[in-house]
Structure formats: structure tokens, C-alpha cells
Amino acid sequence: MSDSALLTSLAFALHFSLQVLLIMRVLLKPHRDPTARLSWVIVIIALPIGGIIAYILFGETNIGRRRAERMRRVLEQMPSVQAAPGVNAPSVAPQIPEPYAHLFLVGQSISGFAPIGGNQASIPEDSNAVIDALVADIDAATEHVHLSFYIWLPDNNGCKVAASLIRAAERGLTCRAMADDLGSRAMIRSAHWKAMAAAGVKLVRALPIGNPILRVLGGRIDLRNHRKIVVIDDWITYCGSQNCADPEFRNKAKFAPWIDMMIRFEGPIARQNQHLFASDWMAHVNDDVDALLRRPLRDPKPGIGAPSGTPQATAPQISAQVVGTGPTVRFSAMPELFEALIYSARRELVITTPYYVPDESMQAALCASARRGVATSIVFPRRNDSWIVAAASRSYYADLLAAGVRIYEYVGGLLHTKSLTLDGEISLVGSANMDRRSFELNYENNILFHAPELTRQVRQRQQRYLDSALLVDPDEVANWPRHRRLFNNTVAILGPVL
């Protein structure tokens, strides 16, 4: 055998051995559903070189050994929110009817936060009103401002928030701001970032990428901090889908406007978001925030309203719970919560999400909801900024429609709101989409709450989306051309990979 033939044989044997080892790793990897295993096996076999590279880069949820260890140490050392003085006071006792108590047990099993009462909330009218309310709250702050966004753009709204942080720091407040290193790269590289640092704002780049080639050695580059958290004076907090940017979202202007919903809360629930922010912050920088978490919880005082220019807050009867998920949190935490909510619906279930790539159990839960007589509606954007997700989402339409789920496609921009309302009493809002990226790869934050009045307001906002959406016709979906169905279904099969 010639030298070249021998080298070829050795290369083939090495490549084949590597394929076999990776396939064994796929099959032995814990917490991977059969569909995901099959998808990766197909990719590794069908793409002899590209499949191996793809699995090495994206096949496992690996945030890096050093980073994971630091996060573990931070969480172990942090004080429990439940142990904070005042947490068990009668004024913050949650008021949750027995039929819904199990939902909050699911949430507590994920993040360790029990539901807490004594909260007020309001929903600003639109994205610009959210920024105006946020800036007003920062300008009125007396102690500290903590802020974390996945996308923070140096546009009109993004600069408004940056300027308010500078003003707060200059008058002596402690300001901490965190932005995802990928999603907020434009702001991080801008003069506004430097100006905030010069004014004394403490800044952190979440999950820094650094050298992309070397970054791969320290964990997956596409694991991102997708959370949107604001905590002001340990009493005011915001939660929802909105990034720190104009609704025109100029880096993806052709899909604009981005349609979001953010809820402004006042009360003890802010401490739970504070805890979530602190865990992210201290996992990146040596700046101990534990002292804030050990302070006695303030006693709710009825009658505190929203700042000037925002809707009046509801009465302090909101029982709420923060649910934070991510790649270092229990596997399938977010799907468990979604499915628990879906199966608990008895009369009406309304969901809005821009990205829908479910696992089999979640798809089955939605179909079962409609089949047992629950008025089940789900709203997607008609034009999605991700053609891959749009195709995968539409592969699920036929089964949902056959079960009786009413599917709507919003036409007034990119509907980015992630919301769920249940029987007019329970709501879930936050950053998590109903897709595998939110389930397995992104750090997400949500608030689950029982509050009929606030849920009514969320449902009214959902109705605005429904009124600006087109009802999907089952006959039209049934008559989609074969090539379209083939494309959608092929993309969906690769969903666990993509």
C-alpha cells in the first residue's frame, strides 16, 4: 500500500471513529429528548465534516467549566430570599386560590422563590411609555438602580436610559447595569457606554465573547443572557419582553415596529428580581450585592401609585412570583411551567409569542387544551425576523388547527410580547419564548401572578393584538403546496439542532 493510500485509510478511520464517538456521546448525554438525539445523529452522519464541527460548537449546553463553577459558588453563598426579615409578615402573605396553588409550587421548584403578596402593578401603554416610566423612576430613585437587558441599543430610548443612569450616578446613587455582550454589542462599543463608566455607573458585559475562536474552548458562544430586569430602590421592578430600544428597532427595521409589553411592579416582588439580578451580576464581577438581600423587607403601603405620566397602579392585592431559568438551571424548567399552566386552563387560554418551536409534550398540551373545550388562542407575528423559526412554527399549524386551537398572525409589526393568560385570573409575562432556545440555551426571567384585575389588563392588551391579527384558515393550511410543507417540516425536524 502506498503512503498516500495509507494516509487516506488512516484519515478515514480517524474520521469514522470520531463520528462513532460523537454519536455515542449524543446517545449517552443526559436530559436530551429522543427527537434531539435523532436530529444530531442525522446531522453527524449526513454531514461528515460539517456535522462534527456543528456538534462540537453547538451540540451541548456547555457554558464553560469555570463560569459554571463560579455561578454555583455565587448561588451557594447568596442568602435565601425566603429568609429575609419580613418575608413572612401577614402584609405580604399571598392570596392564591387552591386550584392555582400547584402552579406556584412549580415556579418555586425552579427558582426557589415562593409567591409573595402586597404588590401593585401597572402596564404602560406602549414601548415608549415604558421607557418614559423607567426614566422617571430612575430620576426619582434615592438609593440604587439595577438594570439588565439582552439588547440595549444606542438609539433614542437606549440613550434616554443611559443618560438617566448617568444623572443618578452623578447624584451619588449606586447604579449597576448589565448588557449581553452579543445582543448589546452596539451600545457596549459606543461612546455612551464609556460615558456611563466615566460617570460612575458600574457596568458588566454579560457572557463576554472575547476571541470567538478561543471562546469556543470555554463553552458555547450562543448561550446568552436574554433577561430584561430592572430593580429600583429594592421596591420597583419591571418585567416583560421589551429590550432597551426604540420600537422601530433600527437594526432590524424591516420587521418594525417591535410590539412589546412590560409590566411595572411595586412591592416585595422586587426583592425576588433583585435576587435574580444579583446572581447574574456576582457571577461576572467581584462586587458583593448580598447586603441588599439581607435587609428587612419593606412593608407594603396601599395607595402608592405609578410615577407621573403612567397608568394608575392597581390595588395591592397581587400575588406574584419570579421564575428565572437558564442553561445552568434544572433541565426542562420552562417547559414544565408552560405545560402546567396550559393543562390548568378550564375556560380560556390566550398565548402570545414570537417564536414557537415546542417539544412534543408542549404541542400535545396545547392540542389537549382545545380538545377539552378550552377556548385556546395563540398569536404569532405574520412576518418573523427569523425565517427558520417561522418555517418551524408553521409546521405545527395543521395539528393545532385540527385540535381546535385558534391561530392568529399579527400584521402590525413584529409581535414580540411573551404572555399567557389563564381563565381571567392567572398570567405569565417575561422574556421566555415557547422555543427550544428559551427552554435550553438562554437565561430568561418571568413573573407568574394571580390577580384578576391585572390579568384583565393583560388580556385587554392581548385582545388588541387579536384585533390586529389575521385568523389562520385551516383550509388554507391544508392546501399549502407540497414544497412548502416539505420545507417547513424539514426545518422543524432540525429544530433541536437549530
Can you give the pLDDT of all 498 residues of the chain as single tens digits? 576 777 777 877 887 788 888 888 888 877 767 777 877 888 888 887 887 777 777 777 777 778 888 888 888 888 888 878 888 888 899 999 999 999 999 999 999 999 999 999 999 999 999 999 999 999 999 999 999 999 999 999 999 999 999 999 999 999 999 999 999 999 999 999 999 999 999 999 999 987 776 666 667 778 899 999 999 999 999 999 999 999 998 778 888 999 999 999 999 999 999 999 999 999 999 998 988 999 999 888 654 444 444 444 445 589 999 999 998 888 789 999 999 999 999 999 999 999 999 989 999 999 999 999 999 999 999 999 989 999 999 999 999 999 999 999 999 999 999 999 999 999 999 999 999 889 988 999 999 999 999 999 999 999 999 999 999 999 999 999 999 999 999 888 876 665
CATH 3.30.870.10 intervals, the chain? 65-317, 333-493
Task: Please give the pLDDT value at position 271.
Answer: 97
C-alpha distances in Å from residue 22, one per residue of 16, 26, 360, 424: 10, 6, 25, 48
Question: Is 144 in contact with 176 (CB distance < 8 Å)?
Answer: yes
Distance CA 89, CA 381 (A): 43
Distance CA 420, CA 350 (A): 6
- Which of 146, 160, 192, 226 is catalytic? The answer is 226
Task: Please give the pLDDT value at position 215.
Answer: 66
Distance CA 214, CA 217 (A): 5
Tell me the torsion sign for CA atoms 292, 88, 71, 229. Answer: negative
Amino acid 200 reads G
Catalytic, 228? Answer yes
Any idea which residue has 415546542 for its cell? Answer: 358
Q: How many CB atoms neighbour CB 47 within 10 A?
A: 13
Q: What is the longest distance spanned by two Cα atoms in the chain? A: 89
Tell me the torsion sign for CA atoms 155, 156, 161, 167. Answer: positive
Distance CA 338, CA 329 (A): 16
Task: Please give the pLDDT value at position 307.
Answer: 43
Which residues have a Cβ under 8 Å from the Cβ of 482 and sit 6 or more positions away? none
Helix (H, G, I), strand (E, B) or coil at 369: helix
User: For residue 370, what is the enclosing H or E element?
Assistant: helix 360-371
Q: How many CB atoms neighbour CB 254 within 10 A?
A: 8
Nearest-10 crossing angle of helices 482-493, 387-394: 110
Which residues have a Cβ under 8 Å from the Cβ of 59 and sit 6 or more positions away? 22, 26, 40
Distance CA 265, CA 447 (A): 10
Helix (H, G, I), strand (E, B) or coil at 482: helix
Which of 219, 229, 249, 81 shows the shortest CA–CA distance to 156? 249
Helix (H, G, I), strand (E, B) or coil at 204: strand
Options 3.40.30.160, 3.30.870.10, 3.30.70.270, 3.40.1260.10; which CATH number does 333-493 get? 3.30.870.10
What letter would DSSP give residue 80? Answer: P
Catalytic, 290? Answer no
Task: Please give the pLDDT value at position 313.
Answer: 44
Q: Are strands 229-232 and 414-415 parallel, antiparallel or unpaired?
A: unpaired
What letter would DSSP give residue 265? Answer: E
Catalytic, 226? Answer yes
Tell me the torsion sign for CA atoms 209, 214, 217, 218. Answer: negative
Nearest-10 crossing angle of helices 156-170, 127-140: 10
Task: Please give the pLDDT value at position 456.
Answer: 97
Task: Give me 237's grid cell.
Answer: 421592578
Task: Give me 303's grid cell.
Answer: 395607595
Residues 482, 484, 487, CA angle at the centre, nearest 5°?
A: 110
Distance CA 400, CA 378 (A): 10
Task: Give me 353's grid cell.
Answer: 409569542
Catalytic, 233? Answer yes
Query: End-to-end distance of the chain based on CA atoms, in angstroms?
Result: 43
Any idea which residue has 456543528 for its cell? Answer: 54
**CATH code for residues 65-317:** 3.30.870.10
